Amino acid sequence: MTTLLQIKSSLNGENGQSTVLSNQFVERWKAENPDGEVIVRDLAANPVPHLDGERFNAFLTPAEKRSSAEQKIVDYSDELIREIKAADLVTIGLPMYNFGIPSTLKAYFDHIARSGVTFRYTAEGPQGLLPNIPVYIIAARGGLYAGTQADSQTGYMQTFLSFIGLSDTRFIYAEGLAMGDDGKAKALEQARQSIDEAVAA
């Protein structure tokens, strides 16, 4: 059975444009894969704690030396990692906030980036340890940023995901959503068409 992991990161929940488009991706995928399983990780409804010294040190502490509180932190991280390892593909709904990714998504990334678990350093440099499955990133933006220096998301997402082994990143953009109703409608329609084409491929 094929498994899709859907990650939602819009602070507007189900009303966020990235979530709406991500949900369309899931619905289209389910139509193509009726026996497939969808796992939903909603970072607005169930935010991952932001990384602090206590959590970071828990990740670094050897298992036999962890306190019960530290082990609980590691167990939570392990759950997130098991979730993504179980997936055959991932879709991420990605809004742009102040030229960056949502802080909740960054917190999620901080909990799945674990040395010796999802990446390791070798004499040739870092090596990602997760299976290289497709990651469809649906980026919803108020302005026009793709291909410009103001697009801090695309390069970051590619770099981070590749670092943990997920180098097959595929972007679908919905841009100019705050630049008038006509532009918004056109951008959303183009994004929906791109989603249909991506799932059908």
Q: Which residues are annotated as a binding site for FMN?
A: 10, 96-99
**Residues of the binding site:** 10, 96-99
Cβ atoms 95, 17 nearer than 8 A: yes
Would you state the structure tokens that stand for residue 75, as one six-digit string? Answer: 């167990």
Count of alpha carbons within 13 angstroms of residue 181, beta-carbon side: 0
Residue type, 40: V
- Output the CA angle 156-48-192, nearest 5 degrees: 55
Reference 141, options 171, 116, 108, 168; nearest CA is 171
Environment class of residue 117 by beta-carbon count within 10 Å: exposed (0-12), middle (13-18) or buried (19+)?
A: middle
Name the 3-class secondary structure at 115.
Answer: strand
DSSP secondary structure letter of residue 61? S
Residue type, 43: L
